[in-house]
Chain A
Amino acid sequence: MPENLLEVRDLTITPAGADAPVLHDVSLSLAPGERVGLIGESGSGKSLTAQSVMGLLPEELHARGQVHLQGHSGNLLEANEKTLAGLRSDIVSMVFQEPMSALNPLMRIGDQIAEVLRLHGKAPRGQIPTRVLELLRDVHMPDPDSARFAYPHQLSGGQRQRVMLTIALANSPRLLICDEPTTALDVTVQKHMLDLIVERVSAVEAGLLFITHDLAVVAGVCDRVIVMYRGRIVESGSVDEIFTAPKHEYTRGLLASSDLEATDDRGRLFTLKTALAYSGPQIGEGEASVDVGEPGDLRDEPQISTRPDHTGMSVAGSTDEDSVRTTSAREGAGAASVRDDHRTPSVRESAPLIEVSDVTRIFRGRGLFGRRRSDVTALGGIDFSVAAGARLGIVGESGSGKSTLLNILSGLDRPTTGHVRVGDIRVEAASSQALRRLRENLQIVFQDPFASLDPRMRIADIVAEPLIAAGVDKDERAARVEEMIAAVDLDQDSLRRYPHQFSGGQRQRISIARALVTRPQILVADEPVSALDVSVRAQVLNLLTDLVDEYALTLLFVSHDLGVVKHLCSEVIVMRAGQIVESGATEDIYANPQDEYTRRLIAATPSLAEALAAG
């Protein structure tokens, strides 16, 4: 076996003043030119491992063990800052997660790249500008000639990450460490970025240590995978081994919960608990057709029985009754829900619950002293309708206008032109009283579980807040809050605690409890799982599915993640730059996307099965 490029032995990291280490005896090695993925959820210690290799550990952490790099004799953990500075960029360099904060906002990017070249003296001074241009061309920067003179804020997220990659690879290091390099990027951009990283790393024949929580990304990029859990390496092996025959329970659980195509016999996603029944990712096209058949039946939209305009319908009503028996019989144990009413095609044609027609929203640019700046069109003519009980997914990348649309639907913002009707309320012209009625019927679960709960309120008060506004008296409030907290699988002790005592997943449960405590008809979820770890994501999605069934909700689910939407929603609209580019039944859109952009979006979404099939 040739000498390894990177050799980490018994690395143990202990925070100052703490007894228990956060990283336990981590040993790993990386052969020259090898691409290794380091997988784990937040807090698993994967970033700490990478930081020790770079010598970037925070002062208050004490590292023991050995880190050896080819081309440097001695333990890197004991090396002084000067030695480390020499090694960085020459032998090992790093791409960080957030490209905006990793670049100096006041320096032109050409200068930032030149700086790295100059500091390490690899290129003769006179040739630096040409070399910068060459490097920018290598990462396929559009118009590299003028890009050199751009400031970071003038570039998009993907372009900034290209610049980061350029800087990292400027001195042809032998090892490149990427710490979640694509997590902050949109899916289509992520795809390009991953391809680019693989391309550049092979071009300069460097080794790659790729840190991520996303299994599908690793499958496409790496040869070998190391799985970390709570500061330990639990398993390592080739991509095929790990993804098709995981040995460790945690790996299997992680794999199961990140596979949004696979569901257990109740139609729910696998979680760490139920992972034993998981049979591994399905490779090949056969699986897709199975999946298409199922959601149509299983997630047949429940009818909201409280809506007055349906109870009086004689013809549709009787059809409803019949269909209840047939569908329930057909479903059997499929979905253990309390729905008592099912929709038939004839009801689908009746007035939809939400109707949005030709809505535009233009933000007027306001300069100093009222001078007009250019207007920004966030929504440019949106049309769609949602039937009661439907589950609509709204998919789009950042800047597509989906958040603006949500704000308008929930009455937090008003459209510039166009009509929005929710139930019998015309949102664009609603009085404040009508808006209050609207909000009682429509509740939101927000994206960031850390920002959406008031840090200075107890959970009981947070969940009870919508009830106070609705004028529910104190005893009933307490009873309903307790009931709701139980419904989202939190224990009653939680009520007395503050938000900071909970994890992201638990906070999102609290958010859901708050949204549902008033029994709304419509639940709007704004990227509710994008800030969560995969295993937690599966739990929250299952909970959401259960509750949507149980409370017969109409669900509007906003996400950039096509996989999640495909699992959860029966219908989908795809948005881009304030326009709807495509809409229809989820299966149809996936199986047969009509629009070029939708096709690109689907192709760019990393999927385990595809990555394995390709590799």
Chain B
Amino acid sequence: MNPTPTGAQSPSDHVDPVAHDATDTTASAKIRPGRSRRSGRRANASMIIGAGLVVLIVGLALISFVWTPYDPTTIDPAARLQSGSLTHPFGTDTFGRDTLTWVMVGARITLLVGVVAVGIALLIGTPIGIVSAFFAKQPWGMWLDAVIMRANDILLAFPALLLAIIFAAVYSPGTGPAMVAVGIAAIPGFARVARSGTLQVLGSEYVRAARASNRRIPAIAVVHVLPNIAGMVIVQASVAFAISVLAEAGLSFLGLGTQAPTPSWGRMLQESQQYLSTHPELALWPGVFIALAVLGFNLLGDGLRDRFDPKMEARGA
């Protein structure tokens, strides 16, 4: 709890009365033990593992743009349904396409869906939450906040899958509608997180100080609120990313997401279905990578949450 006094080098009992600023520094450090956290404490295990998995998936996707073991679209009837070997480490599918190549190229779609869906949710949900919180603080705007948040709750009641099915029925099934549907379904989460964070920041004394010095509401939102809720929003983004990866895989599996011939982990799972009893490894590899991606983003989110948790930043004497 108590940090090393900065001015304690002199071994003698003599105290320099002029060195008051040093006492002062020690004082503040004692009041805020949480401060050493950012620089001192090591990153936690879940964050390291999570970040490692995310780097792996992103790496696979990036490499696939410059090099893949085989061409993903080349059909080789001679090499169909092979098990893992030196030439095809993950085996081949029913058309003789290399599974490893497909896993690598499929990572692109997974990440694309994640980035677009989270992007939609973050860019729409966060401002909604911030605006709603500002309304909540005004006597005349409380009902507006209530309206926004109840609308938010209604949206929250629709599962992403249901929304995607509607989208696929209205437009044609494809990666685009799937991404938008998953993104829209993730909006309420961001709105809620942003709203609660904003309420907390708006109650702080430094916002009172900003108001007292005539800053307008948009300025307060950008200068004070955004930087201070960024941590919470990043955590939410990483969790939402994991959910989108899963949702995309599910939609593609149902044929509502990515369409042939674009490689996608969900579609690989679906195509492997008929060979499940004879060639189970066809389902194994896409399944493993979906699990790794979801696990990676979830762990990263947990780790970030531990770092950004406002409770851990709370003052303790």
Residues of A within 8 A of B (CB): 13, 15, 18-22, 24, 41-43, 45, 48, 58, 60-61, 229-232, 234, 248-250, 252-253, 271-273, 275, 410, 412, 436, 439-440, 442-444, 446-448, 450-457, 461, 465-466, 468-470, 500, 502-507, 511, 514-515, 518, 533, 535-536, 539
Contact = CB atoms under 8 A, between A and B. Distances in A.
A457 B223 contact: yes
B77 interface: no
Contacts of B214: 436, 439-440, 466, 469-470
Interface of B: 1-5, 7-9, 13, 15, 17-18, 20-21, 23-32, 35, 204-206, 208-216, 219, 223-224, 227-228, 315
Nearest to A469: B214
A191 B8 CA distance: 36
Q: Is the interface of B mostly helix, strand, loop or mixed?
A: helix
A229 B13 CA distance: 9
Contact of A465 (B18, B31, B210): B210
Nearest to A97: B317
A550 B197 CA distance: 41
B308 to A, nearest CB: 12
Contacts of B27: 41-43, 503-505, 533, 536
B206 A452 contact: yes
Given A234-B15, A250-B17, A446 B30 contact: no
Contacts of B204: 451
A22 B4 contact: yes
Contacts of A18: 3-4
Contact of A504 (B9, B24, B208, B211): B24
A450 B315 contact: yes
The 9 closest A-B pairs by CB, nearest first: A466-B213, A503-B28, A469-B214, A43-B26, A503-B24, A451-B205, A452-B205, A456-B227, A43-B30
Contact of A448 (B205, B219, B227): B205
B90 to A, nearest CB: 46
A230 B4 contact: no
Given A42-B27, A43-B26, A253 B17 contact: yes
B29 A43 contact: yes
A507 B28 CA distance: 10
Given A446-B208, A505-B27, A535-B23, 7 more contacts: A43-B23, A273-B18, A412-B211, A444-B209, A454-B206, A457-B223, A457-B227
Contacts of B35: 500
B26 A230 contact: yes
Nearest to A465: B213
B20 A539 contact: yes
Given A61-B2, A230-B23, A469 B213 contact: yes
A522 to B, nearest CB: 11
A248 B12 CA distance: 13
B20 A439 contact: no
Contacts of A518: 213
Contacts of B25: 503
Contact of B20 (A19, A21, A273, A451): A273
Given A229-B15, A452-B206, A452-B209, A41 B23 contact: yes
A504 B21 CA distance: 11
Contacts of B7: 230
A43 B27 CA distance: 5
Contacts of B224: 454, 457
Contacts of A15: 2-4
Nearest to A20: B4
Given A45-B2, A230-B8, A456-B228, A250 B15 contact: yes
16 contacts: A13-B2, A22-B8, A43-B29, A60-B1, A230-B7, A253-B20, A412-B212, A451-B205, A451-B206, A455-B228, A461-B223, A469-B219, A500-B35, A506-B21, A514-B209, A518-B213
